[in-house]
Chain A
């Protein structure tokens, strides 16, 4: 059992570094920002995560009663910079 866990831990570490590299690359790319006057579409409700939060929460409540997993749901607000 132990001999199997060694390579698995290394594999997880590799995935962790890949995530970090992707985060850094993504953030670097984001340095060419979308300007405020370009946000008309992003500011619309249909382009925002969690905009229908209450309806979605009710649906997630039902799903959690029929599935063994939870978490990772959309977070309301953020990112649109609509104001």
Chain B
């Protein structure tokens, strides 16, 4: 895993600093190395989208209450996605929906520091991501405190992202004449054929965690986000004319998002199991509204092995401007305002997720170290299945077959 570009060098520097600080002489030093990978695989005849996401993270506490961390993550993407989206009114036109192969390599490097005192904590981090057609920078800060004998905890977080996306240089054209990007070659070069468009992202978060009894705790989270810039997919085109005329996806330049979520954890002594419940309501300025519910349980199978299992249900409405066919008339099909989208994630849909994970933890007895090195070793093995039910979305009247995702994951970490 090689870092590319000049800015991941900063994260590499932080990584090196973490290692050197972690190997200092202070008694307070603790270092943790975490390696994991997740696979995202759609077993579909048409897309076969597969994403490998390896990640390595290192954190060190060179002094009591001061922690530095660094991480590197990659997304290795192969598969195919729809390059031109059409609706059912053009189902008799051969190959009106075209697909393009996707191969990309996304790198994300991050570095951060955290200060912790008895009743307060502060943290800050910087993240840089790069891929062939997209670059992202994000700065995050968070502050938290606990009070009332640590039964109440409040955390406030903010992050700002300033990203760039590559597209064809065609902003002087009417939206109906703009075409999708055909290739990421020449992106982020002086080549006049392409240009980089800015995207700014602001996210806020307020979390209140409350302990109610020795076996019951809750967490309430408010979050909001502001997005501004080019918010569509630069490659995707949507058929907007009855004769098959297609134009680049055209989304509004602003999106305001808000979510409120309540989580609960209860330990059932009789079952020796931690039960969890989670609910989230979401709404944004594109009129996407959603509700998420999740139930979970986690229990120890032995002193070192625990089992986590969960089930999640999600339902959303479509964006106000989303239509399955922009060529037809109202009310079933047809344009809805000045925007058009081929993004299935903006259509009415629901998802079901189920999964389980085994977590193993081995601690050296008596505060010793395994092999003179490791205080603690942890490993996990997980598997999730995600099914999407698309209410309206079609490929020119045909139901997509890439609606099942398999998500195996594996990871190990050690504390030194």
Determine the main DSSP class of B at the interface with A. strand
Mark contacts of A44-82 with chain B using CB atoms, 8 A cut-off: 1 yes-contact digit, 0 otherwise: 111111001011001101110111111111110111110
Q: Does A14 contact B (CB under 8 A)?
A: no
> Are A81 and B267 touching (Cβ within 8 A)?
no
> Are A49 and B209 touching (Cβ within 8 A)?
yes
- Select which of A40, A47, A75 is within 8 A of B217 by beta carbon: A47
> Are B217 and A69 touching (Cβ within 8 A)?
no
Q: Does B363 contact A (CB under 8 A)?
A: no
Residues of A within 8 A of B55 (CB): 54, 58
- Select which of B210, B308, B316 is within 8 A of A30 by beta carbon: B210
Q: Does A38 contact B (CB under 8 A)?
A: yes
- The range of chain B's interface size is 35 or more
With contacts A46-B306, A81-B146 taken as known, whether A66 is within 8 angstroms of B380 at the C-beta atoms is: no
Q: Does A1 contact B (CB under 8 A)?
A: no
Mark contacts of B349-367 with chain A using CB atoms, 8 A cut-off: 1 yes-contact digit, 0 otherwise: 1010101010100000000
> Are A47 and B267 touching (Cβ within 8 A)?
yes
What is the CB-to-nearest-CB distance from A75 to chain B, in angstroms, rounded to a whole number? 4
Q: Does B91 contact A (CB under 8 A)?
A: no
Determine the main DSSP class of A at the interface with B. loop
- Total interface residues in chain A, CB < 8 Å: 45
CA distance A41 to B271 in the complex (A): 13
CA distance A24 to B236 in the complex (A): 48
> Are A79 and B261 touching (Cβ within 8 A)?
no
Residues of A within 8 A of B274 (CB): 44, 46-47
What is the CB-to-nearest-CB distance from A81 to chain B, in angstroms, rounded to a whole number? 3
> Are A71 and B225 touching (Cβ within 8 A)?
yes
> Are A67 and B351 touching (Cβ within 8 A)?
yes
CA distance A65 to B1 in the complex (A): 24
Counting chain B CB atoms within 10 Å of each CB, the highest count among A44, A61, A67, A78 belongs to A78
Identify the closest chain B residue to A58 (Cβ): B38
CA distance A71 to B284 in the complex (A): 11
Q: Which chain B residues (138-167) contact chain A, with CB distance < 8 Å?
A: 144, 146, 148-155, 157
Residues of A within 8 A of B153 (CB): 77-79, 81
What is the CB-to-nearest-CB distance from B407 to chain A, in angstroms, rounded to a whole number? 6
- Select which of A42, A52, A78, A79 is within 8 A of B214 by beta carbon: A42
CA distance A79 to B145 in the complex (A): 9
> Are B151 and A62 touching (Cβ within 8 A)?
no
Identify the closest chain B residue to A79 (Cβ): B209
With contacts A58-B55, A69-B316 taken as known, whether A75 is within 8 angstroms of B205 at the C-beta atoms is: yes
Known: A68-B288, A69-B284. 20 other contacts (CB 8 A): A30-B211, A34-B212, A38-B214, A45-B306, A54-B411, A59-B38, A63-B353, A66-B388, A67-B290, A67-B316, A68-B319, A69-B290, A71-B282, A72-B292, A78-B153, A79-B210, A79-B211, A79-B217, A81-B151, A81-B211
What residues make up the interface of A, taking CB atoms closer than 8 Å to B?
23, 26-27, 29-31, 33-36, 38-42, 44-49, 52, 54-55, 58-59, 61-63, 65-75, 77-81
Give the 9 A-B residue pairs with the shortest CB-CB distance, closest first.
A81-B150, A79-B209, A72-B261, A78-B153, A71-B259, A72-B259, A71-B223, A75-B207, A69-B282
